[in-house]
Amino acid sequence: MIGINVRNADIAYADAIVDGIKTLESRETNSLKPYIGKRVAIVRTGKGKAKAIGEATIGNPIVVDELEFRNKYKEHLVGEGSVFYIKNGQVKYLYPMLDAIRYAKEKDVGLGIVSRKVY
């Protein structure tokens, strides 16, 4: 199985996805395009060793401007001041994280910038 990297930064974003709280994953580019419609592991990065902590199916992204990004805060949880906040004049890709679950036991993963192999 392939996992996508989700960094726990100012908020535990990866944990929020697998717990069903964060239902949209935001990206600056269409970097998750190869995984749309596929079940992938959610790999927690940014704090400690990277681990697959659950999984979700990635939906088709919604491309939003600054106003729409702010209006969808409760779904993506990225607030002003976050390194992941939308940059002035740009757009964000918001990918629905469907049918998310948390694993009973975390899994080891390989290396990767956007995605990683799950062992």
Q: Print pLDDT tens along the chain (119 aa).
A: 999 999 998 899 999 999 999 999 999 999 999 999 999 999 999 989 999 999 999 999 999 999 999 999 999 999 999 999 999 999 999 999 999 999 999 999 999 999 999 99
d(CA 67, CA 31): 22
pLDDT of residue 9: 84
pLDDT of residue 101: 98
d(CA 119, CA 106): 10
State in Å, rounded, how far the first CA of the chain is from the last one: 8
d(CA 95, CA 2): 17
Q: What is the DSSP code (8-state) at residue 112?
A: -
Domains of the chain: 2-104 (2.30.130.30)
Cα 32 to Cα 20, 26, 49, 91, distances in angstroms = 19, 10, 22, 15
For residue 85, give the nearest of 100, 115, 64 by alpha carbon: 64
